[in-house]
Structures are given as C-alpha cells and as structure tokens.
Structure 1
Amino acid sequence: MTMTTKMKTLLLSGIALAAMTTGSFAADVTLKLGHPANEDNTWHLASVKFAEEVASLTDGRVEVQVYPNETLGKEMDVINGMQLGTADLTITGESLQNWAPMAALLAVPYGYKSLEDMDSQASGDLGARIEAQIVETVGIRPITYFARGPRNLTSNRPITTPDDLNGLKMRVPNVPLFLNVWKALGANPTPMAFSEVFTSLQNGTIEAQENPLALIKSANFNEVQKYINKTEHVRSWIYLAISEMSWEKLSEEDQVAVMKAASRAQAFEREAFMTEEAELVTELEGKGVEFVEVDSEAFAAAAKEAVLSSVADDIKPDVEALFNR
C-alpha cells in the first residue's frame, strides 16, 4: 500500500470516527479550520486527526470542521476571519511576519542545521518568544507546529560547494532574501512565476531551481533536471493556530483537551511527513535523478552576511545567534 493510499484510508477512518463521536448530539462549540492544502496532504490528514482527537477528548463538546483547498479563503483571508470571529483555526507560518516580525524566523536560510536542530529551536525559548509575539500582535494562538520539507537545489550538473554555482542561471521566488542569498552564493538568480519554471528549464532560459522534494516531484522537474543537490538551505515549520477569540470561548478543561489533541496531531503528522520524505527520495531516484551531498557548512558561511543584511532589524540578533551557534 502506497503512502497516498494509507493517507486516504486514515483520512476516511478519521472522518468516520469523528462522525460517530459527535453525531449523536450537538457540540457545545463548533470550530472551523480552514487551510490551503489538498486532501492528500499531510497537513490535511493531521487536521482531520486533530478534529478526531478533539471530539474524543472533549466527549463531543467541541467539534472541529476541516475545510481544505482554501474553501474558507486564502491564507490571509482566513487569518483576517480569525481576527474578526468568522474563522477559528488555520495552518500558517512566516506570512504572519506582516504582523509579528519574529514569524520570519520560521524560515531563515541556513538557520537550522537539521530537523532535530529545528525542533529544538521551535520547541524551545526561540519558539516560545515567536509564539508569544504572534498571540500579542496577530490575535491568534499557535497550538502546535508541523515540519516542512527542506528546499533543495536541482540542476543538470552536480553542485557540492558554492564555487560550483559560478553564475548558474536559476529561478527563485520573488523574495528579496532569496535573491540576495543566491547572489551571495555565486549564482545568477531570477524571480519567476512557478508556473513558468518547467518550460524555462526545458528551453534553457534557466538552468536550475530550488524547492522541496514534494514540489520537485509534482512539477515533474525530474524530466528536465538530473541532480537534486541536498542544499537543504531552508528548513522551516508551520503552525496550527487558533483564534484567541475562539480559544477564550473554551473552558479550561477543553483548552487542555485541545492542546493534547494538537500534540497528538503533531506526532501523527511527523510520522507521515518522515515516511513521505523517504518515499519521495526513492521515487525520484527511480525516475533517474541523482541526489548529491553538499558542503552545508561552506554554503551557510557564504550565505551568512547576505541573510543578515536582508532580514529586518527586529530579528537580526536572533538570526545572528542562530548562525553563531
């Protein structure tokens, strides 16, 4: 059974269990959870797991209704709805820096050396300070976080050190931080819409691009790129968050239950995420792509000054502290 099939099975069983748990009587509180992922995505499956656990742990007093595929609106729309009281929960990350500057720390290039290192920061003092600022300035409360697949560089020649980039024409998102970092590393980055990347790689307008493995596979970049260089230059996490207005409607007992449900959803999502990442490597290798180990320390050292000069002054000391560990 493939991971996708397993996920669908878990999803259906989760919905069925949640329906059995809450269907016999009306919930005291109904919470709407809107997010951008599709039904096969681990974030959606974890959201369904969360809803199932909330129903079980509150004996049906609290019901979570999950709306995938931007059904409740795009990310910013849902966040605005959470501030106004028309939405209750969402999955969101560094976009929150529009209100809370520290949210930019969720996705700092070369800020986190490994998944374990990221976990220690997200669940430690840094994560606590980020979450506190989000509560204070946005009016929404992170209750757990999910890992995101690290971004990797694809190309048609192996890249192991910054010296190997040497003017490499590559696509980056239209984010000044990304542009500045790749220029500092020696590449020739250009902003481009994601929808144009495959054709541009195919006709040679660009020679490389960078994205997580899931997007590399779904976009079929393996058809026009020979190597996936394990730069893992951006490791990041994303929050499952609840509106403060909705949080305050819950009794203390149900708040404890919601936090426990969030913890269980995180464990569920992490297992699914790790399995999916391993399967993506196997599938992409099966399609003829070669994975290349890189000198991560050399990349981080070359990127440091560009990162520091590109981030907001509010978070510069925290970014510097990440680099200097």
Structure 2
Amino acid sequence: MTYKTLTAASVAALMLGTAGASADTWRYAFEEQLEEVQGIFAQKFKEEVEANSDHEVQLFPFGTLGESADIMEQAQSGLIQFVDQSPGFTGALIPEAQVFFVPYLLPENQDALFSFFRNSKTIKELFPPLYAEQGLELLTMFPEGEVVMTTQEPVTSPEDLNEVKFRVMTNPLIVESYQAFGATPTPLPWGEVYGAMQTGIIQGQENPAFFVESTNMYEVTDHITRLGHNNFTTAVMANLDFYEGLPDEDKQVVQDAIQASFDYILEYQDGLTEQSLANIMEAKPSMTITELTEEQRAPFRATAESVEAEFLEIGGDQAQAILDQMKADLEAASEAAN
C-alpha cells in the first residue's frame, strides 16, 4: 500500500467515524507510536480525561493519519481535536518556534531542563498568541530526551561530518545548524529514513535515544554520538475553535489532564536515555556510543552564535523577544536547579 493510499484511506475512515461518533469523542493524533514518549503522554491524557468526564479520547499514532503535515492540517481544520507535534514541523507555520533548534541553548542538566519547561514565560505567555494565529490552542510543551546523532562513521569533530548527507526535518534552522556542523543536511519524511540509511542515500540522522531504539534505527547505523547539543521538544495543541467552544468544566478537564500528563512524562523520562542506549548495545554489541568531551564539543558549540543569528533573520517578528525571554527563563531555571 502506498503512502498516499494509506493516508487517503485513513482519513476516509476517520471521516466515517466522525459521522457516526458521539460528540463526546475527542480525537488526538501524534508523531510517534503508542509506546514511545508522545504515545505515553497521550495515553495518560486519555486516561485522565475519561476518568474525569464523559468524553472518550481516540488516539491516532504516527502513520494512521499520514505524516506530520497531514495531522497538523487535520488539527487546524477541526477534523481532529488534539495534535502533538514538534516545533521542527510547526516552524513553517510559527517561525518563532524554531528557537528550540538553536544548538546548546537548552541545558543538559535535567533539573534545569524540567524547571524551564514547568515555568517558562516564553512557553506560557509568548507562544500561545502565535499558535492562536494558526488556529491552535497551545496546551503544553515538554522535552522528550537528549538528541543523539547516528552515523555510519565515527564523529568527534565537524570535519568528520564533511560531505555526510544528514537527514533533518524540513525546518530551515535545523538545516542551518547541520550546515554549521559541517554536514550536508538532507530533509526527508520520517517514513523514508530507515530505507535511506540502509541504502546509503543518507549517512546520518538525529533523534532521542529511545526513538533510535524503538524504530530499530541502530540496525542501519554503526555509531551513536552524544554531542549534548539539544533535547527534543514537542508541543501539544488543540484546535482553537474546538477549545474555545468548550464549556468551562471541559476546559478544566483538559487542563487538568494536560498537567497530570506533563508531570507523568517527566517522571517517565528519568533514566530513559541511558536505558535505551544500554538496550541498543545489548541488541547490537558492535555499536559504538561516544560521548564527546567538552574539548571535542567546543567547535560544535561555537556554531551556536551563527545559528542564533540565522534564527533572528528567519524567526518571525517576535524572534528577538522570544530569544531574549527564553534566555531569561533558562537562566532562572539554572538558578532554581542549583
């Protein structure tokens, strides 16, 4: 079955389901599978909503309704009520959201990272109006785990990425970041990545370790490198018209479920990266996992300034305000963690 056929069939099935479903049914699509981080969050959200209201939540993992662009379009149109999508994809709609792809901006320290996502004024106050302009109610953002790089050859410096075709999401700032790292960034839909790595069309990609494990990406790569350059961020949104049309008691149900799921997913991630890397090594003992030293990271870290400058060029009217507030939020989070 082709991707287009799958997408059309899935959407048609959803439309039929919509016609016969109760108005108490809410639909929630996300970019991962049920047992991956977004899926764990979604399952907790479903559990909380159904325990505290008469609503049912139907979950649609990645692929059931198409690729990332498809589920965003369906959320904006109101065909589905909730969507979980990385700013890596929503960056085309909300350029300011690309700030999460400035390398070495988010802290590696987990306490500081979690404090930022709990308390960030950028997330809670500055982003919601930008999402609303696109017909979306921003409900929360949360981290999914340290981003690691997988390649066919070892990487200890930017020179090792020279002429390496590196898969990236279709996002201008990620492209800029990997160009600065020395690679040849190659945007590809996720569904094509495993085959492209297997056949050598690309020679590298990045994702959290749990995703490298769960998608078996380690089978078609030989080296994992921990640069400490980022933590994968995602956002949960609702269709704005749907959300604004809810009675206050249902809005409270949604907000309470989001908060419970947020707390749950942060706890769930404790130790997840290390466990996933250990599982990968057990499944493939020949894999090498390298954590770069601060000296080795220095030339990668030095690219952050140029990527930040590019963000200010392409990041929209509020890019400077977003960046400034985010840095203030991060400083406050760092102080709170110490």
**Same fold at TM > 0.5:** yes
- Higher Cα Rg, which structure: 1
Query: Matches of 2:37 and 2:149 in 1, distance apart?
Result: 23
1-structure distance, mates of 2:268, 2:103:
24
Normalised TM-score (structure 2) = 0.72
Question: 1:65 aligned to 2:58?
Answer: yes
Deviations 1:217-258 (A, max 9, x none): 356554565432211323232122112222223222221222
Percentage identity across aligned positions?
A: 20
| 2:46 alignment partner, one of 22, 27, 51 | 51
2:177 aligned with 1:181: yes
2 CA distance for matches of 1:250 and 1:100? 25
Pairing partner for 2:186 from 185, 191, 194: 191
- Offset of 1:124 from its aligned partner? 0.9
For residues 299 and 60 of structure 2, the distance between their equivalents in structure 1, rounded to whole angstroms, comes to 43
1:87 maps to which residue?
A: 80
Query: 1:278 — aligned with what?
Result: 274
- Taking the aligned partners of 2:306 and 2:236, their CA distance within structure 1 comes to 32
Aligned to 2:166: 171
Q: Tell whether the 8 Å contact from 1:72 to 1:78 is kept in structure 2 after alignment.
A: yes
Q: What is the TM-score normalised by the length of structure 1?
A: 0.74
Q: Quote the residue 2:27 is aligned against.
A: 32
> Unaligned regions of 5+ residues in structure 2, if any?
1-20, 332-338
Corresponding residue for residue 6 of structure 1 = none
1:301 matched residue in structure 2: 302
Match of 2:290 among 268, 289, 292: 292
**1:105 has 2:99 as partner:** yes
**Alpha-carbon distance in 1 for matches of 2:205, 2:43:** 33
Q: Which residue does 1:265 correspond to in 2?
A: 261
* Deviation (angstroms), 1:28: 6.7
Matched residue count: 292
Is the 1:157–1:226 contact (alpha carbons within 8 Å) kept by the matching residues of 2? yes
- Partners of 2:91 and 2:325 lie apart in 1 by 19
User: How does 1:191-230 map onto structure 2 within 5 Å?
Assistant: 191=186, 193=188, 194=193, 195-200=195-200, 208-218=204-214, 220=216, 222=218, 225-230=221-226
> CA-atom RMSD, angstroms?
3.3
User: Deviations 1:29-74 (Å, cap 9, x if unpaired)?
Assistant: 332212232232232232122122112223x2x3322222343454
Partners of 2:85 and 2:50 in 1: CA distance: 23
- The code of the aligned residue for 1:90 comes to V
Which runs of no fewer than 5 residues in structure 1 stay unpaired?
1-25
